[in-house]
Amino acid sequence: MKVAVIGAGVIGITTAYELAAQGHQVSVFERNSAAAEECSFANTGIASVGYASPWARPGMVKHLLTHIWQRDAPLRIFSPGMAKWGWFWRMSQASKSIPFSRHSVNMLRLAEYSNQRMRTLRDTLNLAFERSLGYMILLRTERETRLMQAPLQVMRDAGLSFKTLNATDARLFEPALNPETALAQAIHFSEDEVGNCRQFTLLIKNEAEALGAKFHFNTTVRPFSQAQPKTIYTSERDPGSKFDAVVVCAGMSSASLIRPLGLKIPLVAVHGYTLSAAVREPLDAPRSSVMDEQYKVAISRLGHRVRVSGGFEMGGHAKRHEASQLNTLYRVLDNWFPGAARTQDSVQVWKGSCPMLPDGPPIVGASGVPGIWLNLGHGASGWTLACGSARVLADSMNGRSPEIDLQGLGIDRF
């Protein structure tokens, strides 16, 4: 088939590779001048099966709203309109025990498969990119420990391997953790990893090109035509390029692209920050990656750099940097790894937007409109879920049975 893929982030690039590997003629359209320029550019780097869990979990909405006015809020909401409060209402419904368990199982199934697929690609294609093994969730208080029980039970039921550690044992895995910072418990995932998502994406792009995929950068696709949904238009005067199938992997732009087809998807942009700085003293830096559960801030080791990620915002300006959010990242880094990074000079500050759905899992599969396929809404777990999402979508488009059950990942749930 002649297939168009819209979007050249990690989701779009892995999708293009899988389709090209199955013999399709693939064209990728990207509005930026290169691949991995938006959400895949400088994200947290955590590829964790264990943490591929919905934000919509029991107690989470209350936790977010309780901290919303605090200086170091895990999520700050700017000028919330009715649409955003409606999204939060959907999230609150998905946070109830039964739907949370269902969405978690569906998301975990995809994450495990994606992890296997990423390792297969890395090994068979000899992809060399910055990465390290191990991931740990840090729980400061007993309340956070209680909130983690529901997702941990889902992981146990799925047979996922992890260890619950006390503060002393946690420091065996991450010796540089500040002993003066309160730590009630830690959850350690020894088989998870942190890696450079952008490096990986660019390497997979090269592999897709070697298989014949064509890339069209600096090319903005217009919203789909209801009369000709499989025709790509890039301007008002463009006569259009016809395809046998189109895959939408365009992040937040996905919703507006498919809206003329009668498809309404409750995507919300959640902006997040990362700070990347050179390691000052290796003995004071993390070995791999940790997540401060209270503030939703991740601290990761990427080669000779430390990357700190978090400071989430809903609403506001996608490009404007809020000092309060950045200060939270610096403060949490200093809480756990004081002196680990050279934060006085040459700090790379980045802000990106994650397209999030209220219940957690992405939409992967047919749209209901013939020839239009969707691979979107991965939220903060895009790097974790990318390779698996791409493969099951390509298999579905090729008429093959995917290797995992796609229940709960379709657009029909909305």
* pLDDT at position 63: 63
**389, 249 contact by CB (below 8 A):** no
- For the chain, how many structural domains are there in total? 1
Q: What is the chain's alpha carbon radius of gyration, rounded to the nearest angstrom? A: 21
Q: What angle do CA 383, 391, 356 make, to 5 degrees?
A: 40
From residue 183, alpha-carbon distances to 69, 212, 229, 330 in Å are 24, 51, 53, 19
Owning domain of residue 22: 2-413
Stretch (H or E) spanning 309: strand 305-314
Structure tokens at 18: 């899988």
* pLDDT at position 371: 97
For residue 91, count other CB atoms closer than 10 A to its CB.
23
* pLDDT at position 69: 60
**In CATH, what number is assigned to the domain containing residue 389?**
3.50.50.60
d(CA 380, CA 297): 12
**135, 289 contact by CB (below 8 A):** yes
Kindly provide the residue ranges of all beta strands, DSSP E only, lying in 115-217, ordered along the sequence: 131-139, 163-165, 185-195, 214-216
Tell which residue, 187, 192, 190, has the closest CA to residue 137. Answer: 187
Helix, coil or strand: residue 412? helix
Q: pLDDT tens digit string along 144-176?
A: 999 898 888 888 988 888 999 999 999 999 999
d(CA 301, CA 297): 14
The phi and psi torsions of 71 (rounded to 5 degrees) equal -60, -40
**299, 285 contact by CB (below 8 A):** no
Residue recorded with tokens 């957690």: 360
Structure tokens at 224: 């789909």
* pLDDT at position 283: 94
For residue 328, count other CB atoms closer than 10 A to its CB.
26
The ranges of the chain with pLDDT < 50 are none
Tell which residue, 172, 165, 160, has the closest CA to residue 188. Answer: 165
* pLDDT at position 248: 98
